Structure formats: C-alpha cells, structure tokens
Amino acid sequence: MEKKNKITIYDIAKEANVSPSMVSRVYNKKAGVSRGKRERIESLIEKYNYVPDEYAKSLKKESTKCIGIIVSDVCNPFFARILYECEQIAEKNGYSVFSFETHDSPEIEMRFMNMLSAQKMEAIILLGGESDWITIEHDYSACVQRIAKNTPIITIGRMECENVYNVITDEARAMRTILEYLIGLGHRSFFFLGGMSRTRSYADKVDQFTKTLCDYNIPKEKSMICMCGYEKESGYREMLKVLQQEEYPTVVIAINEIVAIGAIRAIKERNLNIPSDISVVCFDNSFISESMTPMLTAVGCNYEKFAQRLIYTALDAVNEAGRYTAGKIEIIESVFVIRNSVKSFN
Amino acid sequence: MEKKNKITIYDIAKEANVSPSMVSRVYNKKAGVSRGKRERIESLIEKYNYVPDEYAKSLKKESTKCIGIIVSDVCNPFFARILYECEQIAEKNGYSVFSFETHDSPEIEMRFMNMLSAQKMEAIILLGGESDWITIEHDYSACVQRIAKNTPIITIGRMECENVYNVITDEARAMRTILEYLIGLGHRSFFFLGGMSRTRSYADKVDQFTKTLCDYNIPKEKSMICMCGYEKESGYREMLKVLQQEEYPTVVIAINEIVAIGAIRAIKERNLNIPSDISVVCFDNSFISESMTPMLTAVGCNYEKFAQRLIYTALDAVNEAGRYTAGKIEIIESVFVIRNSVKSFN
DNA sequence: ATGAAAGCGCTAACAC
DNA sequence: GTGTTAGCGCTTTCAT
C-alpha cells in the first residue's frame, strides 16, 4: 500500500470536470443532475473507490446515531451478554454501538470516555469499572461530571450527578432471595465467596447477607465471608482452604459464575459431592450456570430487560422528546432459577 | 439537558478576549502564552467543559491510532477471548480498539466496514462473519475489496485480495492431532458434531476428518458427522438422537465448547458417564473446557499468540516501516490439552 | 442543471 | 506573545 492519499471529492470533481457539489449530489443520490454527468461521476467514484470522509461530514452533522459502551471485561459472560443484548436493541432503534474494553483500568476508562465524548457519541454506557465503586476517586468523578455536561452517561453503578443515569440490579433483593430459599431448605451456615470491597455490587450483597442472617436469628459464627475478587483461581484457592477446616458451611454462595467454577473445582478435587456434601449457588446466571454439573441454582438479572432499560434510558436522555421514560435511578429486578445444586435438609 | 450547543474554541476565545489560536495553545499546553491569559483561558475551559471536537481535529490529522475489530458474537468465549487479547496488545502499542458486533449479519458487517473506513481506522480486523465463508457473495467481496484499497483488512478466514491479510488457525492440523490421539487410545468410531458447511473452518475440519480416517484405514461406516451449527441446543438435540441408536461412536468431537456443553448435557441426561461410557473432546479450549466435569480434553489456539499476530499484522500493514513482519497468509499452530474426558482402550 | 462560496471546529504557519 | 489566515473534506444555500 503506497502513501495514504485518500481520494477526496475534489479529485473526483477535477477529473470529471465538474464542481465538487456535483459529486456530492451524485454520491448522495440527490435529484437534479444530468444523465451524462451522473454516469461519468458514478464511474469515477467506482474507479477510485471514493468514500466520503466521515470526519469531514460529521463536522456539519448534529446527530451521529452512535452510542459508546465501555466495558471492563468481555470475557466475563455477564458483561458479554449485556453487551450483546444492548447491541441488538440499539440496532433495532437505528443506533450503532461502539464498544471499548478497559481491563479494569480507570485510566483507560477515562481516556475512552473523553474520546467518545469528542467523537460525538450521543450517549455513553458504563458497564463495570470505577463507576461501580463505593468511593470514587476525585479524578474519575470529575471526569464523569465534565463529560456528562455534554453527553449523557448511563452506569450500572450508583453515581449521583447531573445527566448521569443509574440502571442497577437489585443485589440486596437477590441476596435475600437466595438466603431465604436456602434457609427454607434448612441451611444455617453460609459461605459467601468472592467480590471486592470497593464495589457497590459487593457491598450491597454483603450488607444484605449479614442483615438477613440477623433477621432470621441465624448465628453468624458458622457463616463465612471471603472477599477474594472475581477470578476462578481465587475462588478455587479460597474454597480449598475452607474445605480443609474441620467444619465448614453447608452452602457456598459465589459472587459470580467464574468464582463458582473455581469453587466447584476445589470441591470436586476433594471428592466432595454437590449437593449432597455441600451446596453451591451463584450470582449472574448466564449459560455457564446451566452448563455445569450439576446445573447451578442461580440468581441473575433478566438480561434482555436490563439491556433494554440501559438503551432506552440512553435514548431518552438523548431525545427528551419522551418516547421513552427514564428516571434518574432505575432498579431492575432479578430472576431466581432453581436447578440441582442445593441440598434440602427437610 | 438543553439543546446541544457544544462549546467551541471560538466561544472560549470570545469570552476571554483572545484569538482562537490562543485557546488552542493553552488547551494543548504549548509554550508561549503569557501567564495571565493562560490562567484566564484555563478557567474558561474549565467553566464550560470545553473539549475539542475530535472530528474537526481529525480533519487535519493523518493517523488516528485506532483499529476497528468487527466480531460476530461476543458471547462466544472464543471470540471474547481473542478480542480481549487484541485489546491488550493494541494498547501496549499505543493503539485503541473500537469493537463492533454483527450478530452474524453480513449486512451489518458491511455497514460497519464502511463506517470504520470512513472513520479513518488504520486497519480493520474481521473476527468471524462472512469472510470465513467458503463461497463469499459478490456484494460482500466487492465491499471488502473496495475498502481494502484504503484500509488494510485482516481476517481469520481465507480471502485472497489485495491488502487483505489472513491470519488463520490450522484447523486441519488440529483435527488430525485429535484423531491421532484418539486412535492411539484405541478409538475406532467418531462422532463429529456441529459446524456449518459454509464456513472455511468447518470444511477444513471435515476434510481432515475423512482424510485421517482413510489414512488409518478406519472404516467410515461406524463414524458420523452431524453439521448442526454452533449452538448448545442443537448440540444437545443431535447428541440425544445419536444416543438413542443401538450403537454409536465411542467419542464425540464437538466443533466448539458451546456445542460440547449441549452434548454433555444430553449424555448426562441419559445417565451415561464421561469418559467411561463415551468420550468427549472439543475445539476452542477457553476457560469453559477446564470448568466442565470432567475437564475436557481440547484443542484450541494459543490466544495470546493469535491476537499478537492479528495486531502485528495490522500494524505492519499500516506502517510498512517493517517493525513487524507480516505475510499475506499466516497460520497459527494450535495447542492440544489433554484432560480427563477421553477413555483409553489400551 | 450547475457552480461558487460559506461554514462546520480546529491547528499551524506566518506575520506582527 | 499574540492575532490572522488558510485549509482539512464535505454539504448546502444561493446565484446563474
């Protein structure tokens, strides 16, 4: 490929012996061009593969019909699935989705936010990342605030800020649902595995974990919490440790499917059976939960609905024409799917 | 949010009583601005959240340092992982990755390709989609050809075209490796499950499947091929059908992990044991393979290496300065991981 | 039917 | 130090 000498509208015009506006008219299929010239210009466009520069065009245009989604990790089925659904819905509404991955780096996240704003994305959706932290650093919060002045931001965390919308899952409710189910089956000791103290989604779960135990008068001493992140390696390691103890909880509640995978591996390695020896439940409920042996009882969000709220909130923020309704903070209820990984003591 | 009246460099200049170039200098931290004005302008920039329009900027700039990746489905761990690795490597080389999902629609794929080209992406990487088909439709091929005139395209399929580079996995070799391993363990009947006849990756596998059987003088009659796509539902359904027969192969070779999940479900539902009753191996080898029970013996690509070749090929095509070496077609060898899902008859 | 010209927002070369 | 100007590629009046 030789030097980048992209063909412009002028090149075409010159060779066709017409003015640039003629070429523009032909390219954009506008009326009012004589047959002869139209054909001449068309063949030149063909010949040189002329494609108008989007940047030059956008300098004039107001709306880009594009939404940017910044996601921390696409390898996590939870995020992959949400992204997938968002794209479907955006597509249906005539919008294109640009997506970007940050690998959990707030710096990269901020860089992308700036870039997307400057690229005139009509809205930015933040999936994971620092916006879901409990205490958000000043730099980050300032960045969001600044960008939100021009571009609405939708997060699945909880940030209070002008033009920032929160669409969140009800983690507390989900945790309570799980626990009440387990308690109903006779469980009295629980192992909550995984998570990171800095995230909102973890904090909500832990709070509800202790609260529910308290509400049901279940002694806390027999239960355990191990905040070990979201990786299968740490899930495996920590589960192994617990299983080495003389006595351990009757059920492990994994913060996501990845951690559950690690825990299950540890359990099987110790030749323990699920659920007869120990039960397993987890959050997120993507295709992973029903692929494991045994299939995992899990709570997860309704992905279609979640994505729908995300996109509609974005579109609503863009054209406040009101075709969609959006509140500043919206809570999506979760779904609870009972499968075969929990033992009943009744 | 009121009407979009994005702040421009002129607005700032006017209010600060200076010329636009002054504002530009301040924003871009260039030297040669008096202390007083610099501060005045800075505070105005702050006040109005002025961010220069990327489009206007790019009208001048030559290189965007951006690569576009078009992927058919991020929910497939295979693609998710490649995307993930590509982003890491691009990042390290100072490039940003824009990614787009097509949900297997060639139309959307073409639309994105056009868009990315007009957006001055320096290269476009095609992950899955029509570029991996055996017979490519005219429209699509014309589109690729046209765009490749301006922007190098890297695909994981096989397309012969000026400025289109192929980085592919050696499916035939992978299939042969699997079969030779199985044959060595005494297997003589095989069930190749999943795939789509239109894709190159499927055709290569099937060809080698029959060829290897032939080379080892294994009667074809006892083996089976079922081309049922890439979904777990179809894997489940077809596996179930086969298990209802009086006699069936001793091992199933699933085209990917998703199909394997379906097949395994069917096997377990029939109360058959893996690997004592029937063995399972699969292609792709992401975290799924080692999460199943038993852990799956699998062939897959070396993701890091694959992504690296993809990105380096792209960068090489961009700046033929030669920092990276790229051939027109590059084959990445696969890795074979033996786990616990295959029975030995020896 | 066609062309000239202005302007989108920004940067950089050039004057002062 | 600071302002003026031209130009990036395109579209869109507005004349002709």
By CB atoms closer than 10 A (0-12, 13-18, 19+), residue A321 is exposed
Q: Most distant CA pair in chain B: distance in Å?
A: 90
A1–B317 C-beta distance less than 8 A = yes
Q: Among A14-28, B123-137, B246-260, B312-326, whose mean pLDDT is lowest?
A: B312-326
CA distances to B131, B137, B141, B209, B306 from B134, rounded to whole Å, are: 8, 10, 12, 18, 21
The pLDDT assigned to A319 comes to: 76
Q: What is the mean pLDDT of residues A215-229?
A: 97
Q: Which of B223, B159, B225 is nearest to B195 (CA)?
A: B225
CB pairs under 8 A between A and B: 154
What φ, ψ does residue B134 adopt, rounded to 5°?
Answer: -80, -50
User: Which pLDDT tens digit goes with each residue over B38-81?
Assistant: 999 999 998 888 889 988 988 887 788 999 999 999 999 999 99
B264 contacts in A (CB within 8 Å)? 291, 293
The separation, in Å, between residue B55 CA and nucleotide D2 C1' comes to 27
A101–B84 C-beta distance less than 8 A = yes
Please check whether strand C approaches the CB of A271 to within 7 Å: no
Q: Which of B300, B279, B75, B20 is nearest to B177 (CA)?
A: B300
Judged against a pLDDT cut of 60, whether residue B152 lies above it is answered with: yes
β A297-301/A334-337 pair status: antiparallel
CB B130 within 8 A of CB B201: no
B1–A163 C-beta distance less than 8 A = yes
Which residues partner with A336 through β-bridges? A299
* CB hemisphere CA count around B194 (13 angstroms): 24
pTM for the structure as a whole? 0.93
Residues 171-230 of chain B whose Cβ lies under 8 A from any Cβ of chain A = none
Q: What is the mean pLDDT of residues A85-105?
A: 96
Q: Name which residue leads in pLDDT, A95 or A62.
A: A95
B317 contacts in A (CB within 8 Å)? 1
What distance in Å separates the CA atoms of residue A77 and residue A75, rounded to the nearest whole number? 6
The pLDDT assigned to B6 comes to: 79
Give me the B residues in range 182-201 that sit within 7 A (CB) of strand C.
none
* Coil vs helix vs strand at B247: coil
Alpha-carbon gap: A99 to the closest alpha carbon of chain B (Å): 5
User: Which pLDDT tens digit goes with each residue over A130-153?
Assistant: 999 999 999 999 999 989 988 999
% chain B with pLDDT above 70: 96
Q: Which nucleotides of D are covered by protein (CB under 7 A)?
A: 1-5, 7-13
> Which of A2, A59, A98, A290 to mutate against chain B (most B CBs within 10 Å)?
A98
A158 in reach of chain B (CB within 8 A): no
Which DSSP string corresponds to A76-91? SHHHHHHHHHHHHHHH
User: Which pLDDT tens digit goes with each residue over A143-190?
Assistant: 999 899 889 999 999 898 989 999 999 999 999 999 999 999 999 999
Alpha-carbon gap: A318 to the closest alpha carbon of chain B (Å): 8
Nucleotide closest in space to A25 (CA vs C1') = D11
Residues 250-289 of chain B whose Cβ lies under 8 A from any Cβ of chain A = 258, 261, 264-265, 268, 287-288
What distance in Å separates the CA atoms of residue A284 and residue A253, rounded to the nearest whole number? 12
B99 in reach of chain A (CB within 8 A): yes
Q: Which nucleotides of C are covered by protein (CB under 7 A)?
A: 1-5, 7-13
The separation, in Å, between residue B30 CA and nucleotide C16 C1' comes to 20
Judged against a pLDDT cut of 60, whether residue A326 lies above it is answered with: no
The pLDDT assigned to B2 comes to: 35
Please check whether strand D approaches the CB of A20 to within 7 Å: yes
A74–B114 C-beta distance less than 8 A = no
Judged against a pLDDT cut of 70, whether residue A263 lies above it is answered with: yes
Please check whether strand D approaches the CB of A28 to within 7 Å: yes
For chain A, the distance separating the N- and C-terminal CA atoms, rounded to the nearest angstrom, is 73
A59 in reach of chain B (CB within 8 A): yes
Residues 6+ apart with CB under 8 A from B9: B20, B23, B24, B27, B50, B52
The pLDDT assigned to A322 comes to: 45
User: Which pLDDT tens digit goes with each residue over B280-331?
Assistant: 999 999 999 999 999 999 999 999 999 999 999 999 998 775 445 555 788 9
The pLDDT assigned to B327 comes to: 53
Please check whether strand C approaches the CB of A22 to within 7 Å: yes
Closest Cα in chain A to B46: A146
The separation, in Å, between residue A58 CA and nucleotide C3 C1' comes to 24
CA distances to A58, B87, B205 from B214, rounded to whole Å, are: 59, 42, 14
Residues 293-312 of chain A whose Cβ lies under 8 A from any Cβ of chain B = 293
Alpha-carbon gap: A31 to the closest alpha carbon of chain B (Å): 24
Alpha-carbon gap: A211 to the closest alpha carbon of chain B (Å): 33
Which residues partner with B169 through β-bridges? B332
Domains and CATH numbers, chain A: 4-58 (1.10.260.40), 64-168+302-332 (3.40.50.2300), 171-301 (3.40.50.2300)
